[in-house]
Homo-oligomer: A and B are copies of this chain.
Amino acid sequence: MVYDYAGMVALADPTRRKVFELIADRPRSVIDLTRVLPVSQPAVSQHLKVLKEARLVRAEPKGASNIYHLDPHGLGEMRAWLDRMWGDALDAFKREVDNSKEKRK
């Protein structure tokens, strides 16, 4: 356990999460994203690169522009990863509650 997980790092940055959410709203081109965001076009491209490597997002060339969509692959992986970590945390918390109950006896 405890490797570095790309999806987590990808969504930790506020701007990058904004990019992700914009794409989640609907597929968008790089320029389309740049128009909305307060950063330059290369900055957007770099965020997209990170999201793409985490497989959270997928590029679909259309003419001169690149339309970015959500990518089910990484989306599923991250969901599974979160569920696992979340399950562990909740189980741990449950154990803790049981322990304090036990002590109170």
Identify the closest chain B residue to A79 (Cβ). B86
Q: Which residues of B contact A79 (CB under 8 A)?
A: 86
Contact of A93 among B2, B17, B75, B86 (CB under 8 A): B75
Judge whether A69 and B96 touch: CB under 8 Å.
Answer: yes
Chain B neighbourhood of A85, CB < 8 A: 21
CA of A18 to CA of B14 in the docked complex: distance in angstroms?
Answer: 22
Q: Which of B24, B27, B86 contacts A89 (CB 8 A)?
A: B24
Identify the A interface with B (CB < 8 A).
Answer: 1-4, 8-9, 11-12, 14, 17-18, 20-21, 23-27, 69-70, 72, 75, 79, 82, 85-86, 88-90, 92-93, 95-96
